[in-house]
Amino acid sequence: MRRFEERVCFVTGAASGIGAAVSRALVSEGARVVLADLDRAGAERLARELGPGALALQLDVRREEDWERAFEASERTFGRLDGLVHCAGISAGSPLVDTELSEWRRVLETNLDGAFLAVRAALRRLAGGGSIVLIGSASGIRPAAGAAAYSASKAALAMLARTAAKEARERKLRVNVVSPAGVKTALWRQMPFFVELVRQHGSEDAAFAALCGPGERFAEPGEVAAAVLFLLSDAAAHLTGVELPVDGGYTL
């Protein structure tokens, strides 16, 4: 199927992980895609892989002026916008009692302020309808000890999406959230405890397995992308304000 033939989608955090998987899936189904990421070199590498239907842009999701510049560049190239997938985000891990205010603000600024700017920018441009999908987290549904800032940011993001969905409903514009549990992405390689697990167990796959309980596993980015594309597509035309956990039952 080519559900997104000639549609234009704007993807943040597109250089790696879930964002890259979403971008590849969209292009495979006919979309033209804006690959926006703070890592411009990574976005440009993916654009070369995906071909002329992909445009790489540098975007710091925390900066209003970056959003305006990025959407202006997108409109000059593709002339329209049909959807936004906001994947950009960061993590942090420390017990609440040890969390510095600077770390709390850094996580909330990227994960929540960035999502606010993403939704607001898209709402202003999707006047004729369309779809917005935000990447939340199972940690925003079931709190994660040692990750208060991250869990709080993702829980608030889900409420932001529901509020936006309510405001945009009359415009035939849908806003939904996909909330995965653990996903095999490069984000984990930045965490010292995961680096230690890799050393102890001999590989990243073994380290991921060590973090799982009975019957659990980490998702592949493509599995999350499949859920995102469903919510973006016309098959989900009557779904808005939904938070879809992609977590293998973690939040049950």
CA distance 21 to 15: 9
How far from the centroid of its chain's Cα atoms is residue 202's Cα?
Answer: 29
- Residues facing residue 56 across a β-bridge: 35
Alpha carbons 176 and 232: distance in angstroms, whole number:
9
Residue 250 is among the residues annotated as catalytic for this protein: no
Closest C-alpha to 37, from 114, 103, 102? 114
Count other Cβ atoms within 10 Å, centred on residue 207. Answer: 21
Distance CA 227, CA 241 (A): 15
- Find the catalytic residue in 67, 150, 208, 218: 150
Cite the active site residues. 150
